[in-house]
Structure 1
């Protein structure tokens, strides 16, 4: 979760200096995001997180030494309260990106995105109440089935209301949009979302949605 600061702090991890320079210029131009550090390789990420305590890590998935997948695993293993992770990619429908999302990344960012889209993606990840690119995640996860996900969903034993909330999360709706759809208070929805994540053992909405698709809970037409 973002800190109580008005600004969102970000850490940039990419082996191309030009990419880091461009991202820093774009992010800091809005006045709401401050870049607190940079790294050219995944091996440097954990020490920098401990030192700079960023809200969001923006990380390339493909780096020559320690790549994004390995870095994500290390972050979640070594950092007690890990930041949100936004992976950089050239192609959204990419197995490598999907594995990063399954592994703990909260979303992805296209390198060809417009500056305003990059800023909005970082804001969204820091806020944690909406799913980035739900259609792309549906395409990546929709045809995959995973027995572990099916068992996780079975053991979660979601209530009818929690099931409704998970389906709406999978559509990419925010808490306020879910509240409007179900005629509930925003705080009630927030409570249901927290319960869904806890029951599924999901780090955030992205992991919950991936479990929902891989188990067949959504995307198959069956509960």
Structure 2
């Protein structure tokens, strides 16, 4: 099975089309106003019109309330929720029940964090996956930084690799981590929120090569 791939921080219709043509499995829409990749409800509605069946729409939220997320879902058909803030396992679980959506949690890999224990807490709360991202003292994702991939755990829950991924390192990243999925944003951009079609294609080719190599080992 090929490693799954999500292209996050989509803001333009032409970028949706590039992602779909590249064969990516999911598109991420950022509903976090401080982010340069933030989209309004109106933008998201336009983008979703161009996303075909079998390509998932993931909504990224940072410390949003259940009511705020439910309001977005009323207007934008999201398939999956990505919690990228300080949400506790209990908060994620409650929001999922309130919105009737599957979800996963992004965890920033801090140097002193017991990553496995943290993952298990969200797994027990019903997460469909856990995303491991590089830690930054101020930013919530999209940092362009990576963490030590040799520390990537192997557990019985799908784990998503994020942080500092790009077309040049994605093949090695997949071989090293054997992640269930990878998530990229800045690594396929010409500017913040502006994706580059060639970089997306190169990234997805790297995903294919990396998947084939570690699956054959």
TM-score range, shorter chain: 0.3 to 0.5
Task: Give the structure, 1 or 2, with the largest relative contact order (CA under 8 Å, sep 6 or more).
Answer: 2
Name whichever structure is richer in strand by fraction. Answer: 2
The TM-score with structure 1 as length reference comes to 0.36
- Structure 1 or 2, whichever has the larger Rg, is 1
The TM-score with structure 2 as length reference comes to 0.37
